[in-house]
Amino acid sequence: MFTRTESFRDFIRLYPIVSIIIAIHLGFYLLTSITIFPNSWFFENLSGVNLYIMEGEYWRLITPTFIHSGFTHMLFNSFSLVLFGPALERILGSARFLFIYLLSGFIANVATLLLEPLTYTHVGSSGAIFGLFGYYLAMIMFRKQMLSKQNSQIILTLCVVSLIMTFLQPNINVIAHLFGLLGGFLLGAIPYFNKKDFSDSLRGTADWASSKKSRISSQSPLKIIIWASIIIIAILGLLAQK
């Protein structure tokens, strides 16, 4: 579920929203790295500055989700999205996945505005990514048929480790992590699927999971170890960034 076997072209075709978000991450990073604009221009105008939001610059409740403080920050958050986003985009569909991702990030940024001082500044997609974790948790609690027992255990373990590390690592926007997770969980718990949509989703997920199971079983142990290592590195990188 969290290992990628698709080619680059197939990945873009199957997971367009994840691909677009990563392209935006990379695009903003490149724009802050070239000399056409002063390096600080995007941070001054798009980062989450609570004081400016209170003065009416409400776009800053969304734009910080796509801005990062450096290459490492951008790389690890994009890595995390590549690992944990595709399965959820396939289950929910692109439109619903985008809604969950953006609204989770928005909730995290609103909570940061309300609970942090006016001078507080933040960037990064961690709140939205934690929203994906929260949505997975809701699926485990309320829609157990949509995830295998093994994948549920992986998600629960990652969430517990992520929450613990959130409070141990310095320079972490703890509010964004917690409320992004809570926002994603609440969105996943809301029964917004009607019966037909939900049953169709279950059938589609079962077919997709069966296909993935057969493909994963054919992978070599070395590939599984490599992808497990990448997942661990991505989680640590996500938690080490503000």
* Distance separating alpha carbons of residues 179 and 181, to the nearest angstrom: 5
Of 19, 25, 177, 201, catalytic: 177
By DSSP bridging, strand 121-122 and strand 48-49 are: antiparallel
* Distance separating alpha carbons of residues 155 and 147, to the nearest angstrom: 10
Residue with tokens 């590390």: 165
Cβ atoms of 80 and 129 within 8 Å: the answer is yes
Largest CA-CA distance found in the chain, in angstroms, rounded? 56
- Count CB atoms within 10 A of the CB of residue 178: 19
* Distance separating alpha carbons of residues 79 and 160, to the nearest angstrom: 19
Of 19, 47, 78, 126, catalytic: 126
Q: Which amino acid is it at 96?
A: R
* Distance separating alpha carbons of residues 242 and 235, to the nearest angstrom: 13
Q: Comparing C-alpha atoms, which of 48, 123, 126 is closest to residue 81? A: 126
Active site residue 68: no
* Distance separating alpha carbons of residues 43 and 116, to the nearest angstrom: 18
Active-site residues, by number, are 126, 177
